[in-house]
Amino acid sequence: MSIVETRVLLRHASDPNLKTIEGYRSHGGYATLEKAYDEIEPDSIVDTLEESGLRGRGGAGFSMGKKVSFLPHGNQTKYLCCNADESEPGAFKDRELMQRNPHQLIEGIVIASYAAGIDHAFIFIRGEYDRQADILDDAVAEAYEAGYLGKNILGSNHSLELTVHRGAGAYICGEETALLDALEGKRGNPRLKPPFPAVQGLYGGPTLINNVETLANVSHIVANGADWFKSFGTEQSPGTKVVSISGGVKRPGNYEVELGVKLRDLIYGLAGGPLDGHEVKAFYPGGSSSPVLTPAELDLPYSFEAMAEAGSMLGSGSIIVADDSVSIPHMALRTARFYHHESCGKCTPCREGTNWTVKMLERVVRGEATPMDLDIITSVQHNIIGHCLCVLGDSMAMPVSAMVNKFRDEFEEVIASAALEGLPSTAGRESQEEGVEPGPGGTGSKVLERIRLQGRPVPESAQTAREELPRA
Amino acid sequence: MDDFTPIEDFISPGLPVDPANTVGREALGDPEGVPELSDVNCPDELREAIEASMAKYPDHKSASIPALWAIQRLYGWCTPEGILQAAAVMKVTPAYLESVASFYDLFRLEPAGEAQVLVCTNISCWMRGGDELLDAFCEAAGADRGEAGHGGALSEDGKVLVSGFECLGACDLAPMASVNERYYGPLAPEDAETVIGQLKDGSEILPGKALSARPLPGGDEESSDERVTSSKGPNK
């Protein structure tokens, strides 16, 4: 293994006592908070955070310090929402951070709230993370008892309430404005921006929304300074990152590394590479909403800027590896079905676009599509991107169009084999929803022509098999 | 409601119903009026749980999701009676709570049995056999596979709900399932029968495969990097 982890946030995470306040304090926990209340001015914390270049770990990668500085000064009720909804397929790092070290998050929240003059903070945790929410509840109770939360924290004139709020199963609530609606007790529909939450968020008040991992970094930065933080990672992506690696690898899980390590080291080094007898075919570098990359891009550094340059994104830092046993069209369908299921229905391009993308991809795997349909699929994606209140639709459109563009031959082959054999391609594993039935053939003959024109081999038995099938 | 046309016939005659089009359910009483607490026979524990939640938020409406959780914990699912009772405590309309309940996947608007098995079938789990795992759970519990993929199906005895589910945030355990809100994985199809058996006789679920017992994949060794070891922050 040519690479080792750089554990800052996950340091001592194997210690089961770290969950408790004594365990956390025995490793220096809450010392930074005490020091901050004692001798650091709130404004200078904001400056340190801004100078550190800490970028949001939830997906967008926006500077955390800038976000804090956007909050209006002055005496008014301000809120902080920690986004612990983590529902992006492929992401499971916040689960690890909250489950193993809840106080690290709480300390970060208190310091950020002190810096921005916030009086009420919420942790919005997805309802599925029941165990993690229980752990947080216990940790919050301990922090109240120790005087790190509540009225006049450590004798200062800053008071902070912290409420753990459980969601109830909706991907959309990870979107910051939908999260606010859900927290206000409504259906989780995204809001029009601007006004941005920093100006008008929860209950109409200025609101700072940050991901779990972002807030977990705060006490480390305040304790060690911006330069220390910048000594990790790259110039534009400073710090360490907990990377969730899953899919077709030998050792899936969370690994904390400096940003800018090679993707190959992550996938082959830490995660052990693809399962025996398989090869990497494609991978999502930043959760299911990031455009897929191919093995040719394995030597890129894993940083916000390098992923953006490669036409994808680092997102929440979740790598899903598809090995050569995975059929890309089926993977596209599985991805699209997820977004179709989760679309809240507020904006037409997303509601209809995800629906029609699923329908068209179903036709692809049933062999009822034509190559022209692949162009229509891409054009539908173009009509979703940037046309909705939030990026849920874009999150389907980006990976699906990347898959169609990068693996177009495979899409055509799947159409052809499904059409000719009247069966879904055996190359892919069947998807659960809808139960894609063997198709009756349909317009696959056009694909057949295309395959013949390209001089590719056509299975001999296929033609007769197709003719024997009754039409629907 | 005599001339009510089933929505599936209205939207797509003769075609499969799009799961996105839900019909909703019959309201109990006036959905648009705020019920009186004295009329709804609300159990004290439910009222107290909801009032405690309301006190935690600057706006009492924020307690709608916690209130629905309280209903579900008490009755096993979001019953129309429970919604009416919570609406009376929160002084909102039942329609409002119903609208919230129908938005979120974890709220059950139909009887949901005594135990719930959610099987992840999203990308990472799908690659590692999540669909086959859902098949196995359906077979072990005797639940309808078609229904299980569309919001859940009850076992033959009505005690276990088996449901395919979108990403549960445990792709490292793929393929995995959440059994009574605790995570287990990676699971083989054979594990399904074991889990259903353990649920029936009340024994501990797959002790060796619980997420809580899982170590970090990279082992226990800590970084020797000087910047980390000399850090003044937490986790020293």
Residue type at position B186: P
Q: Is the per-residue pLDDT at A356 higher than 80?
A: yes
Reported CATH class of domain B115-211: alpha beta
Mean pLDDT of A287-305: 97
Q: Is B23 helix (H, G, I), strand (E, B) or coil?
A: coil
Residue of A10, A27, A185 with shortest CB distance to B65: A185
Distance between CA atoms of A246 and A283, rounded to whole angstroms? 10
Cβ contacts from A onto B, under 8 A: 247
Residue type, A347: C
Closest CA to A124 of B73, B66, B78, B184: B66
Judged against a pLDDT cut of 80, whether residue B160 lies above it is answered with yes
Residue in A1, A77, A118, A128 to test binding to B, most B beta-carbons within 10 Å:
A128
Separation of alpha carbons A43 and A296, rounded Å: 46
Decide if pLDDT at B64 tops 70.
Answer: yes
DSSP state of A265: I
Indicate the burial class of A165 (C-beta count within 10 angstroms; 0-12, 13-18, 19 or more). buried
Percent of chain B surpassing pLDDT 70: 90
In angstroms, the separation between the Cα of residue B181 and the nearest Cα of chain A is 6
Q: Over pLDDT 90: what percentage of chain B?
A: 81
Hey, CA dihedral for A428, A434, A435, A438, is it positive or negative? negative
| Domain extent listing, chain B | 30-101, 115-211
Nearest CA in chain A to B58: A203
pLDDT mean over A163-168? 97
Q: Do B59 and A185 touch (CB under 8 A)?
A: yes
How close does chain A come to B153, measured CA to CA in Å? 14
Q: Annotate A322-347 with b (16+ C-beta within 10 A) or e (fewer).
A: bbebbbbbbbbbbbbbbbbbbbbebb
Lowest-pLDDT choice from A31-45, A394-408, A423-437: A423-437
Q: Which residues of B touch A246 (CB under 8 A)?
A: 124, 171-172, 174
Class of domain B30-101: mainly alpha
What are the DSSP E strand ranges found in A141-206?
A: 161-166
Chain B residues whose CB is inside 8 A of the A103 CB are 234
Least confident of A250-259, B20-29, B43-52, B202-211: B20-29
What domains can you pick out in chain A, each with its CATH number? Answer: 16-230 (3.40.50.11540), 240-323 (3.10.20.600), 328-468 (1.20.1440.230)
Count H helices, E strands: chain B? 11, 5
Q: What is the mean pLDDT of residues A10-14?
A: 94
d(CA A181, CA A201): 9
Q: Which residues of B touch A248 (CB under 8 A)?
A: 127-128
| CA of residue B234 relative to chain centroid, distance | 35
Cβ–Cβ gap B65/A166 under 8 Å: yes
Q: Quick one: pLDDT at residue A418? A: 79
pTM for this model (two decimals): 0.90
Interface probe with A: pick from B92, B167, B176, B211, most Cβ of A within 10 Å? B167
| Structure token digits, residue A13 | 């995470």
Most confident of A339-343, A448-452, B220-224: A339-343
H or E stretch covering A353: helix A348-366
Interatomic CA distance for residues A392 and A355, integer angstroms = 13
pLDDT at A469: 42
| Eight-state DSSP code of residue A423 | S
In this predicted structure, which of A91-95, A448-452, B112-116 has the lowest mean pLDDT? A448-452
What's the rounded Cα separation, in Å, for the pair A70 and A83? 18
Q: What was the pLDDT predicted at A425?
A: 40
